[in-house]
């Protein structure tokens, strides 16, 4: 992992060493700043943030190329190195989303045709002819 970070740093900071042209980091200082942030994220094992920062680096590089601040060859090298690093980063575990807690629902009505439980509790609509109070289901003696 550190080799890839070093490779990306080399591409950005040294670029075409020996050429009169500035390095990508010299041509576009924001790229050097982004690289430093990426380095720190990787060193600390913040993979998701490192991925986001690498994607932002690629976008910044493409924008710098489009604006003429970075030549095509340097931009291609930076993008290739950042892409290799993206592919080499450990895949973070999927974000844990809590599963919904099942809610307790009312007990379903008796399927044997014995009537609705809600009605039995109230003592209304019970067609069995018995007086619920005589069975001890009615008012409690104080």
Task: Give whole-number Cα distances, 139 to 43, 115, 117, 124, 128, in Å.
Answer: 72, 21, 18, 14, 19
pLDDT of residue 91: 81
In a domain, 116, yes or no: no
For the chain, what is the domain count? Answer: 1
Identify whether 37 is part of a domain: no
Domain-located, residue 53: yes
Q: Please check whether residue 131 lies inside any domain of the structure.
A: no
Q: In the prediction, which pLDDT does 121 show?
A: 52
Residue 82's pLDDT is what? 92
Is residue 62 assigned to a domain? yes
Give 10-residue mean pLDDT values along the chain (142 residues): 58 54 86 90 91 96 95 93 91 71 67 54 53 54 52
Residue 6 counted as domain residue: no
Residue 2 is predicted with a pLDDT of: 57
Q: Is residue 118 part of a domain?
A: no
Is 17 within a domain? no
Q: Which domain holds residue 80?
A: 45-87
Give which of 36, 68, 71, 32 is closest to 50, Cα–Cα: 36
């Amino acid at each position: 992992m550190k080799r890839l970070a070093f490779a990306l740093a080399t591409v950005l900071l040294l670029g075409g060493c020996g050429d009169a042209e500035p390095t990508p980091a010299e041509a576009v200082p924001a790229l050097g700043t982004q690289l430093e942030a990426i380095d720190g994220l990787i060193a600390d094992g913040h993979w998701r943030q490192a991925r986001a920062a690498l994607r932002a680096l690629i976008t910044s590089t493409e924008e710098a190329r489009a604006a003429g601040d970075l030549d095509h060859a340097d931009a291609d090298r930076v993008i290739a190195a950042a892409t290799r690093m993206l592919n080499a980063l450990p895949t973070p575990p999927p974000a844990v989303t809590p599963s919904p807690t099942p809610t307790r629902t009312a007990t379903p009505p008796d399927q044997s045709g014995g009537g609705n439980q809600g009605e039995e509790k109230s003592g209304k609509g019970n067609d069995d002819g018995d007086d619920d109070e005589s069975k001890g289901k009615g008012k409690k003696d104080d």
